[in-house]
Structure formats: C-alpha cells, structure tokens
Structure 1
Amino acid sequence: MLHQKPALANPANAPSARFFPHIGIAANMRVLDVGCGNGDLSRVVAALVGSEGEVVGIDRSEDALASARSEPLQPGSAPIHYRTADLSGELPDLGLFDAIIGRRVLMYLPDAAATLTRLARLARPGTILAFQEHARADLPTGAGDLPVHRQCYDRAWDTVAAEKGDVTLGYRLAGMVRAAGFAIEHARSEGVLIQPWEESFLPTLTRVMLPRMIEHGVVREGEIDLDTLAHRIEDERRAVTETIFWDMAFLVSGRFETIE
C-alpha cells in the first residue's frame, strides 16, 4: 500500500510485474521512474530496456536514493542514474523520455494533476505514461471475520490520510492521465491478495509505519506490541484459512498525444 518497501515481499508490488512489462516499454528506451524510492521498479525497467537504454530515477529522499544506488543490476540492464527531485515543484532539466512511470507516488503529492502536467513536458510524441496507485476501499474482506486485519488496514490508511495523502486517487487516476494529454491504453484495477500459504507482510508493514502512526496520532506510544500483533494476525489467518482480499491497485498507462 505504501511507498516504503520492507524486506519481506509486499503483495502490493505484485501487480507491477503483471503490468509494467506489458505496456510497451522496450529495448533502447529512455525511462523516467518518478518517486523511485529504493529503485525496485527502476531495476525492473532497466532490465526491460537493456544495456542500450537508460533509466533515470528521481526521488526527494536522499536515504532512499542511497539505498537504490547500493543495489546491483541484472546483467544486461540499462544504467540507472538517480537524482534528487521534489515532485511537488518544478522538475530539474532531465531531457525527454520514451516512458515515464511511477508506483504509489502521486497519492502522496499535494497536487498530482499539476505534477502530471509537468511530466508531460518531458514526453515525446508517443511517450508512455504509466502509474500504479492505490485507493482506500471497504477492505479487507474474506471468508470470515477479520477484525485484526481491518484494524491494520485502517491504521495504515488513517496514517496516509493524516499525512495529507490522497486516499481516493486510484479511482481518479485514468482521468488524470487523460487530462494530462495521454490517450489511455490500459486502465484496470487488481486486488492485492494475502494467501494462506504465504507469510503475512502485515507485521512488517506495521513495524515500518509505526513511527509515522505515532507521529500523526493514529496510535499512542506503546499502544501496539508488535510481537502480540504478529500472533493475533497469524491466529486470525488460521481461523479464516482462505484468501484475504487486502487492497486495491489501480494500473493505468497512456501515450502522449500532440495537438496538430
């Protein structure tokens, strides 16, 4: 759900693998990864565009960029150049791109539509613009009661809202991409699932988010015992025994149109 990416694989990233490799990103392209964080998505597209391509990753967090730079690339991948940039303001001179992508970044910006307008200035005719964003829904749900999972879900989204994140942006993503001058080619949503045979990522997610929850008053200091929470999550999973529908991902891509 969130821009932090903990060590345990986050199911919220799984839709990326079923989306970004299939929207037209190809060898030799120049790609901009917007809000790249620790570079997970940058490395995926670097492998797609190959050694003759180029990837530029931008993020405002120097710590995230330092982490990104420390990660190795797959053999044959494009070079990745990481740069500091604040997406809420004017962008540095980055040149033009064949594809502009991002994951869970627009929802954290004060004016996502204005950012998309600025990104359109970096597009050539035919440039691909693609984002994965999320939105709050009446979740989680499954084949049984999920009060502990619902509490984790509400705390996470309440924190995003307290940080002035846009908890409904996913629903409006396709319209925003279109308004920025891109003809929609793909627009879909995908459920993020927690399977009974997989280790739950929720204890890790809560641990990563806990300082933010406390900072914004979503929980009090000492209110959450992480070990106890992990046991309660596992007990609830065993009681339900089936797939849990955790979150909604919205995946949209379009191509830049020029007005004659």
Structure 2
Amino acid sequence: MSHIKQAFQNKKAFIPFITCGDPDLETSRHIILEAVKNGASLIELGIPFSDPTAEGPVIQAANIRALENGITTTAILDFVKELRKEVTIPLVFMTYANVVYSYGIDRFLKACQEAKMDGLILADVPYEEKEEFQVPCQKYGLSFISLIAPTSKDRIKMIAKEAEGFIYVVSSLGVTGERENIQTDLKSMISEVRQVTDLPCAIGFGISTPDQAKEMAKLADGVIVGSAVVKRIGQNGQKSPRVVGKYIQEMTSAIAELKEQDERSHISA
C-alpha cells in the first residue's frame, strides 16, 4: 500500500493546504505540526510561484508574501527534509509546471525523493501533457496526482484510469477560494471515477465550514481545504499555528462525526 493510501485507510481524510514560507518557514513548520496534532491525514505543501493561475486572491497573496520574503524552491526542499524528522503523515507538493522546469525535472524529483515526499500536484498540467512529469515521478517513487474538474466531462474515466495516489476532485469552476454553495454534480463525477479505479477521491476548492466538509465527506473519501487555512495564516501571521490548529480540529471533528453516524446506522440496520 502506498503511503498516500494510508491517509484514507478506515477513515475520511482531511487534507489542508499550506503555502510554505508564509509568513516564514519556521511558522510553516509550527502550522504543519499543529495540523498533524489536530487530525490532518495528509498535507498539501504549496511551493510559491509568481503566476499561480489556478489560485484565487487569498492564495495568490500568500504566494506573493512568501516570495517577497525570499523563499526559494531549494529552501523549501531543505525545509521538508528537516520536517520529515518530526512528521510521518503523507506530504505532497502542489505547485506549477514552471517551478519544476526551472529547477530541472530530474533534479527536482530527486530532491523530493530525498525529502521523502509522497506525491506531486501540478495545477496547470493537463491530462494530455502529464506523461512528461508522471513517468519521471514514477522513477523517483512519487505519485503524480491528477485533477478532475467539472469541465473534464467525457475525459473523467480516462483521467481516473491512469491516476495515482488519490484523485483530486475539483468542486467548482474557476480559481480556488471559499464558496457559500457548491452546486456541481459531484456525485455523478465520483460515480464515473469509481467505475474505473478504487483510488481514493478527495474534493477540494471552495470548502471552508465544518458543515461543508461533512457534506463533501459523504460523497468522497477526503476533503481538501486551502483558502480557508491560508486566510487564517494571512490574518494571524506568526500567531497563526494555534488558530489554524483549532480550525483544523473543528473540521476533522465534523468529518469524524459523520463516520460515527455511519457506524451507528450500520449497527442499527
């Protein structure tokens, strides 16, 4: 079993996204430790990029803050290598193709392997161009994680069939950010995925409240939350670890409550 699959084993996974180096790497470390302490199953670590096309204003601002603080890809790779002495849950990088190109694909993936990263998400790489990254990822023992969006339509099964690690189900059109309502027919999307693979599915984009997390966890194997976490970091700076930890505890409790309800209903049935 891959390390990533363990994040979903016998539970609904909660997956926060954290921009590395916002406001600084030491604070990022404490945020990650608080996330683990409060029930995160897997963590997406963002490598800042100057033109994050899939991101809304909250995560764009975090990218800018980190870059203005002099954060580099090399610094983040070294940071994760040290972090791995304290953190054992799965970690995946989420960034953009240009970050990897600039560093050198092989050089970057070798460094990821040395830092014991588990996977890579490149938000701007379409299915048709994934082989350039997926094949070398396999060489270095990393899962290249695929995204399925409402626009994927006829390509859902095709993408899912070749996916690795887990499938990132994008809940809404547009960029990342909190949303009051998620109206995409996610049930149908996930049903199509289930027809061709047993990989876990995690829903992201727009989720910010415990109630939303619970609703999404009814449909999928995990819930991804980015902007709501990053917003709290932006508001609280170096004081954010405790704030983020409390928020993650509220979200993971909501998902755990769902699992307890399911177990009670099975027993009564």
Report TM bin, short chain: 0.3 to 0.5
- More strand as a share of residues: 1
Q: Which has the larger radius of gyration?
A: 1
- More helix as a share of residues: 2
TM-score (norm 1): 0.34
